[in-house]
Structure 1
Amino acid sequence: MAIKKKPVSPRQKMINLMYVVLMAMLALNVSTEVLNGFSIVEESLNRTTVNSAKENQVIYDDFEAQMKSNPAKVKAWFDKAQEVRHMSDSLYNFAEELKLAIVREADGKNGDVKNIKGKEDLEAATQVMLAPGTGKGTELYKSINSFRERILAMVSDSVQRSVIESNLATQIPANAMSMGKNWQEYMFEGMPVAAAVTLLSKLQSDIRYAEGEVLHTLVANIDVKDIRVNSLNAFVIPNSQTIVRGDKFSAHIVMAAVDTTQVPEIYIGERRTNLTGGLYETICNATGDFTLAGHIEMVNGSGERIRRDFSQKYTVVDPSATVSADLMNVLYAGYSNPLSISVPGVPLTKIQATMTGGVLQPVGPGKYIARPSAVGKDVTITVTSTNTGRAQQMGQFTFRVRKLPDPTPYIAMTDEHGNPTRYKGGGLSKGNLLSADGIGAAIDDGILDIGFKVQGFETVFFDNMGNAVPMVSDGTRFSARQKETFRKLSRNRRFYISRITAVGPDGIQRSLTTSMEVIVK
């Protein structure tokens, strides 16, 4: 629907000019016969207001009709239109009550706005609008301001806003302000009845004009949602193009620039299908490549039936998943074993995994830490996917659980370039030996690098008679006695570090069977 606002006619422009001239003549105290000219302006304003009201009523009637035929589309704008009607009628009727009150103040209780006798009365308007305690001028001032702000909030066009704001302005000239007058005093103090009534009639005309501008804006907003495009295409939007056998294939079948308040006719192949919200689902019991094809039929804004074909390929695969140990092919009890878990075609955020015989902790998308609880008891990891909205098992994987192997003892030091290194036996300079604090132990085979805490060890020296002289360490550190013996060792003398005890991250204390031979260089 497109309703255009009529431009201001030359006749209306002349009426507006007459209104300005008559006001100027009144200010010059022209004879009372001039007041009869206000009747001409009053009648013309009333005709204009009636015509505006009729035009507005046409739009209201159209809103009613559209509301019945398509409430989902029209309701929001219909409600706004009713709000505009309510606040416009409220201010319009208030102005009408004031007109009647002023005329009756001048002509008595039987006064008639359409037949004013005391047009020249200068006290009636002042009494009704400005009397202390009962004057309605302040209330009218506030009502106009409130109406103007609420109406402007519904109009986006800058030209319309400017016209409405000007028509409903409540500013007064600077000279009036300098005399200490407010808006209601400036407008109604000492104003003849004919002029006061005409001012209120003009306000009523401005109200109906503003009401009409907002209604046209609301109607335009409804029209924006009509299907009026030159390119319409059908689309299939699948939840996933790769489907696990036994799971559902789900896809939304829509038309570009679709009007969601109208339900299109959807055909799969040549058979019409009733789909809730355009959602198509089918159980996939066989693997392979498939195609969902059909067409959509819909009626556009001009009543023409349009058709658009659609086609979407998808693949159905067998359940599969991949679980790989980041460090090795077994899991170690009591140790945080890192795992990576993935499923082809499924986002990592849609994958879940559980484990028997221990704890499986997620640490990121597709990343887990497995901690088996018992040595020798296999664990099973179960992988599920929620890619299609429901849990689907993708596979189970069994791992053997082993005890962490024994570590290798070493002495921490630096090489000739200052890089940290681990001495594990053989020739060792006396300077490096004396600078060492103690020994460490770790599984260090190029794949694993798991540190152990050394609890104690012995060094075994041989005297000149070939007798073994064992010395106990101070925990993980060399004892003072051992250090003193190091200082006395001559070149190519040998000693052994043995009977090492250490505890790993699994909490198991173990005695290492290996010993370290040190040759002083």
Structure 2
Amino acid sequence: MSGGNCPETGRQKMIGMMYLFLTAMLALNVSGELLQAFQLVDKSIQESIKATDSKNLDIHNQFRAAEAVNAEKVKPVREKVESIYEKADTLYNQIQELKLMMMRTADNSPEATLDNYKGSDNQDIAPQIMMVEKGGERSKNLIADINEYRDYLISIISEEDTALISALNTSLSTEAAPPSRPGQVQVSWASQKFEHLPLSASFALLTSIQSNVRNAQADVATYLLAGIDENTYKFNDIRSVVIPSSAMVLKGETYSAKLLIAATDKYQKPRFDIEGYSVKPNEDGEGILEIRTNKTGRQEWSGKIWFKDPNGIEKPYEVTHTFDVVQPNAVISPLKMNVFYEALENPVEVSVPGVPANQLEVSFSNATKRSQGDGVYIVIPKPGFAGGKSIVTVYANISGERQRIGSKEFRIKPLPLPYATFAGKRDGKVKKNLLKVQNGIFATMGPDFDFELEYKVTQFSIAATKGGFFQSEPSKSNRLTDAQIELINSLGRGAKLMVEEIKAIGPDKRNKKLAPIVLTID
């Protein structure tokens, strides 16, 4: 970092001019107008100090904000800045106490304030307090403390920052100014500040030192704040990035990805050097790498990405990556059973890993299909193909080309027969009271059949032996007739009851004969 980063500000130049003006006025006879001029200079410097205090507070807040983002890097520097602020406050307050001591001595009142005091033309009090009392201990201590503060600030600064070091040596110098003309007697720094001067002039000179203390504090704090970003890359664009562990995830596996924020510099584009391949940079500074895959298996590429560091030196960053090339494979999965049932809606899921469902083309022989989206199809075999086969063939649009991926064969079967139940039973014993509350015969596929297949009984007969004679009563629906109910009510315990000649119709609209039911009255 160059000391040129801390040039003299306009306000500092103004203070320097005021100091020259003050020095020039000291060569004149002390008059009321001159004393008033000293006081005006003092007030102007105090206003400058207020502005510098505001700047120092702002710098401190910037350190706090930077620490919240990167505590590990900023905290040690922020603690060093707070040490500077503490030393600056101590020296500033020490000078303020000296001014109060002089003012209250001149006013002969402990209640006097710096804004309202008497004796501004007194030329004895300042040298008495600073150079006579205690053998001039107060001026010696002040000089030592200024030197210590200056040396501490310089110890923090890099030796290469000569401009800032020179500025500190000048503004916080305690060396006596050389004689203004040949033959003039050399006087000390303390004498120049306190001897043969009206009190208001000494006040203005002390306020000028306080201003230099605050300005030095601000300059070094600014220097350290800038140092936080030294050798740090500058970026002006932020974007979100998702890096998946794999671009393809099998069903049932866990998808995993890294989510991060990437920073880029839209004014500085990286340079890509990938071995064996060309990279096309886009307007956003990203490199587009395209590799044509002609064989299956694990593939690897590597290279370097070049980017300029904060000093403008291009540096390489190694990059390597592996990926797997697999033969496209169609996954054809029946969602219910491994056959296609005639006249039923048979759901099938079709997918090709790595290929979106909307880029697949699926055909079914001897059947019609209806897409449900997301690779799910409803398949209905065409009439008359029961006992035959349906072949599912899958094509995919890969890199703009239609490719056959695979196929699978399904058997087409006729609808299975249901079984009939009476009072929820197919055979065995049944309570007569339970039979009395029944109103019909029902057909069911049972709990092990995955499809919601509905059959309706269209006819049946109730048969039993009554009074030594075999009697059969028919029904042309699934409902019990009055004659059938009368026959059931006439049966006693142990009697056999048969439900026979049962027929039912299903989705294929065919009447099918079902197995009879034989029950024993309990």
TM-score, length-scaled by structure 2: 0.49
Q: Quick check: which has more Rg, 1 or 2? A: 2
